Amino acid sequence: MENLVGGNLENLVGVLLILVVVFVCLQLGTMVVLLAAVRKMGGNLDRMRAVVEQQGTPAIKELREVLGEAKDIVRSVRAATENLTGVTESVRSQIRDVNSVIEETTNRARLQISKADEVVTHAIKKMEATSQVVQESILTPIGELSALIRGLSSGLNALFGRKRNPVNEVHQDEEMFI
């Protein structure tokens, strides 16, 4: 039995050794296939890198140019913004000055209008007082004198009996009517 067990064991070891060799060969084949695939992929990557460099380099140059122009534009916008800020501050300052002048002018105009109103009011009061004095001192005595002269004239006419011409009276009435 030992022969049998020893023979079988040798056969079994031989079979296992053959299996190990087969598996190692399979692994070696797999590794070779993987190596070929990796080399092929590396070649493809090299070609892709070349294409990207070939097509990407001009795009990158254009992008750099655009970025340079964008930087110039940003600088211009910043300068314009600073100028606009300065102008805005200047305008605000001038508006404050103008508002101050307008306010001062308005106050002076109000004061002058008030003074003019006082002067006009005073002048009107003086004119009214003068008118009353003229009325009392001149016109009333003239009216009284006129009435007195008419009375004397009527009295003298009645006294001396002067007759009027009826034609003259009609003519005089017509003149008064017209």
Instruction: Give 149-159 pLDDT, tens digit per residue.
Output: 998 988 888 88
pLDDT of residue 34: 94
Query: What does the buried/exposed string (b/e) look like for 99-113 if buried means 16 or more CB atoms within 10 Å of the residue's CB?
Result: eeeeeeeeeeeeeee
Query: Average pLDDT by consecutive 10-residue portion of the chain (178 residues)?
Result: 62 91 96 93 86 79 84 87 87 87 87 87 86 82 88 87 58 60
Threshold 0.75, pTM exceeds: no
The dihedral sign for the CA sequence 14, 19, 23, 29: positive
pLDDT of residue 90: 87
Exposed / middle / buried, residue 50 (Cβ in 10 Å: 0-12, 13-18, 19+): exposed
Residue whose pair of structure tokens reads 């964008």 in the numeric block: 70
pLDDT of residue 37: 92
Exposed / middle / buried, residue 47 (Cβ in 10 Å: 0-12, 13-18, 19+): exposed
pLDDT of residue 1: 46
* Cα-based distances in Å from 72 to 24, 58, 60, 63: 66, 21, 18, 14
Closest C-alpha among 36, 108, 18 to residue 44: 36
How many whole angstroms separate alpha carbon 57 and alpha carbon 1?
A: 80
pLDDT of residue 115: 85
